Amino acid sequence: MRPRTARLAGLPDNVTVYEVGPRDGLQNEPAVIPLETKLQLIARLVGAGLKVVEVTSLVRPDVVPQLADAEELLTRLPPMPAVRYPVLVPNHRGLERALANGVREIAVFTSATESFAQRNLNSSRARSLKVAGEVAHRARQHGLPVRGYVSMCFGDPWEGDVEPTAVVSVATELLAMGCGEVSIGDTTGVATPGAVRALITRLLDAGAEPSTLAVHFHDTYGQALANTVEALRCGLSTVDASAGGLGGCPFAKSSSGNLATEDLVFLLDGLGVNTGVDLAALARTSLWLAGRLGRPSPSRAVQALAMGLERER
């Protein structure tokens, strides 16, 4: 069943769905997913109309064993000129691997808080930001677009509420270092729409353009869709999401799944905002993946659409 469509004032006509499922979704799985399943997942996501699919991360295999097959995956990705395949790169070594494997777009990451930087990156916040900047600079020298992620932008399990000034400082520095886009992450899912507007307003007042900002919401407290609408009302038009609502952060135990791509697309379809994504094809993909993982999809849209999709078979 399709959503009833009605426009709201102040929303963009088009939204880019930045799919992170193959990387951020699968990295948190308790068991390693076979490479063939990952390749099929990526192909299905592209077939559903997604134009940006973050496919993997070039991290140390002993740190994130679920992504230990990154280089083999990259060599087997079919060339798709109209599709972007960004790869998360943690450090200089990761960039070397990316360049050697023909990666054409990368992402770097850091934290708005010192505690999470120490636990996630085993580094101070200042040091992680410096490394991200160096990697971004070198990638730009090779002609690669660079995205920056900022984690813990609203609340931190160890530090509590995060001051907007800390987020603004890190995000604007990433932009100055050459990141064409910075994704603002609600890693613990504690943001609400008022906090989203307040932070985005601070970022825009600091000189960031709406086109250079994206949002990455976790649905821990069921606020991801409401937060997304508020971000769009602030002028942003890129939203991160994970097929089937998979993922979370292995380094922040209070963090549950990402915003489900199907839930996001259902919302945007209902608002008359174009994404270019086929919701039914996407839901079929998540149902297929849920079967491979041996558990139901946490996406509410997938659950609601499942019966109708089964009848179509």
Q: How many CB atoms lie within 10 A of CB 44?
A: 18
Residue 31, both tokens: 């068991």
| CA distance linking residue 278 with residue 15, whole number of Å | 14
Q: From CA 2, how far away is CA 181, in angstroms rounded?
A: 32
Q: Which of 153, 179, 234, 249 is catalytic?
A: 249
CA dist 26 and 22 (Å) reads 6
DSSP state, 25?
I
Rounded Cα gap, residues 311 and 313, in angstroms: 5
Establish whether 249 is a catalytic residue. Answer: yes
Q: What is d(CA 224, CA 247) in angstroms, rounded to the nearest whole number? A: 14
Mention every residue, 6+ apart, whose C-beta is less than 8 A from residue 53.
Answer: 19, 21, 22, 42, 45, 46, 83, 84, 85, 86
Both tokens assigned to 267 = 């919302």
- The residue type of 110 is T
- CA dist 149 and 179 (Å) reads 10
Taking the C-alpha atoms of residue 266 and residue 261, their distance in angstroms, rounded to an integer, is 9
- Residues noted as catalytic: 249
